Amino acid sequence: MATFKLEYPYRRKDGSRAIRVRINHGGKEARIASGIIAGEGDFTRGGKLKNPALLVACDDLVKRCRQACNEIGPALPGLDATALARAIVARITGGDAFRLDFIAFARKVASTRSAGTGKLYASAINALARYTGRDSLDIGEVNAPLVQGFIDFLASEPSRRSGATGDAKRGRAVSLYIACLKAAHNEAKRTYNDEGAGIIRVPFSPFRDRRLPVERIPVKRAVSLEVLQRVIDDRKLSGVESIARDAFLLSFALLGMNSVDLLACPAPVNGVISYNRAKTRSRRADGAPVKVRVEGCIDELVESRRGKDGFAFNFRERYTRPDTFNHAINDGLKKIGERAGAPGLTFYAARHSWATIARSSLVKADKATVHEALCHSDPATRITDAYIDLDWSVVWEVNSKVTGLLDWYSIL
């Protein structure tokens, strides 16, 4: 049990003394400066404080110290005297009035994330600003009712991509937005709380157990082997369509490689491209490594797109940003898809198609192998992924069967 006693041992040149509180706790002592200064005439000849106003102020300070101990509660026995003093000071000199602009802090957190994740954070933060109608929001206002109201707002707000009259956001978008803001809120707690010292400036967890909308199953974007063959055989390519087709087919033949990785992956070594998948490398304990063997059927395509300075492909010589590259690919695929009998064809269809064909009766790959090939981030296997040295030859055998279902003779 902590005890408190006033002391004022040092007399200044003008006769005044600074009053402080001595804390005895766990057999140790610590002191807190009260900020109260007593003049020479405020003491009796015996050295006791006699000024009634100062006595009331000091008595109130001791009461506030005791109240702070009560607030610390079960954590109190684990604190030494010095840590207890810090915790008390935090409470009686502003701990209860802690202020933090959550929107500004969340933007700071977003700036530390990868480019793609940072954009997702920015979208979530901008949506929160739209909901509140403000560009700043104190973290004390981020409570459970506000978060649930924000979730309901997101679930009903039209998608920004489809315009004001478009469909509402999918459940996946809502859950991702909430995950970003929850992560930012947890970061604020890690930054400003010190549970070991009993300092809790951000005491609540408003994102816990919130009611999220049911996620709709995403539309399957896979295309048939017949469509893929028409894309390979297309000879009416113009402008960006040539880049779009080549990027699409390379993605398909390289285990559904994302466009950001097509831009940045290194050149093959002994016929194998090794890289860390950008989308999931920060979410997997093993860094999301991928090793994909270049199948002989696409040797000519890979050679025609060979890059400089150690990069596998030359797309980066025209596009330096993944978002502009991806936009160009999808723009070029529109007419290609129409000619191939797949209106609305997008780049991601290459990845979906590879997975669908690999799992089909034509190839009969098991789900685990498809999962490994796509290098997804799965919380259920994140620890296992860090320990297993994957035998990529199993994946390569599947890829050989998938790509072997197509005639690549007319690729160039």
Q: What is the pLDDT along the chain (412 residues), one digit of tens a residue?
A: 789 998 887 777 777 888 888 999 988 998 888 788 888 788 888 878 888 888 898 898 899 888 888 877 777 777 788 888 877 887 776 544 678 899 999 999 999 888 878 899 999 999 999 988 889 888 878 888 888 889 989 888 876 654 444 555 556 788 889 999 999 999 999 998 887 776 778 877 888 877 766 555 455 578 999 999 999 999 899 889 999 999 999 999 999 999 999 999 999 999 999 999 988 887 777 788 999 999 999 999 999 999 999 999 999 999 988 889 999 999 999 999 999 999 999 999 999 999 999 999 999 999 989 988 888 765 555 545 555 567 899 999 999 999 999 999 877 6
386 lies in some domain: yes
- Please check whether residues 19 and 107 belong to one and the same domain: no
Report CA 378 to chain centroid distance, whole Å: 15
- Please check whether residues 138 and 256 belong to one and the same domain: no
Q: What is the pLDDT of residue 215?
A: 54
Domain of residue 302, residue span: 225-403
Q: What is the pLDDT of residue 411?
A: 76
Q: What is the pTM of this model?
A: 0.61
- Please check whether residues 126 and 37 belong to one and the same domain: no
- Please check whether residues 77 and 121 belong to one and the same domain: no
- Please check whether residues 351 and 319 belong to one and the same domain: yes
214 lies in some domain: no
Contacts of 393-400 with C-beta under 8 Å, sequence gap 24+, read 394/369, 395/255, 395/292, 395/369, 396/292, 396/293, 398/358, 398/363, 398/365, 398/369, 398/370, 398/373, 399/253, 399/255, 399/292, 399/293, 399/295, 399/354, 399/358, 399/373, 400/295
Pick the last residue of a domain from 38, 63, 97. Answer: 97
411 lies in some domain: no
- Please check whether residues 92 and 111 belong to one and the same domain: no
- Please check whether residues 272 and 148 belong to one and the same domain: no
- Please check whether residues 86 and 158 belong to one and the same domain: no
- Please check whether residues 93 and 107 belong to one and the same domain: no
- Whether the CB-CB separation of 253 and 295 falls below 8 Å is answered with yes
How far apart, in whole angstroms, are the C-alpha atoms of residue 19 and residue 39? 11
Helix (H, G, I), strand (E, B) or coil at 292: strand
Those residues with Cβ within 8 angstroms of residue 61's Cβ, 6 or more apart along the chain or in another chain:
21, 34, 36, 92
**In this structure, are strands 272-276 and 28-38 parallel, antiparallel, or unpaired?**
unpaired
46 lies in some domain: yes
Q: What is the pLDDT of residue 44?
A: 84
294 lies in some domain: yes
- Please check whether residues 250 and 399 belong to one and the same domain: yes
Pick the last residue of a domain from 97, 112, 143. Answer: 97
Pick the last residue of a domain from 28, 62, 97. Answer: 97
- Please check whether residues 345 and 246 belong to one and the same domain: yes
How far apart, in whole angstroms, are the C-alpha atoms of residue 388 and residue 370? 16
- Please check whether residues 323 and 184 belong to one and the same domain: no
What CATH number does the domain containing 357 carry? 1.10.443
93 lies in some domain: yes
Q: What is the pLDDT of residue 181?
A: 94
Report the domain count for the chain.
3
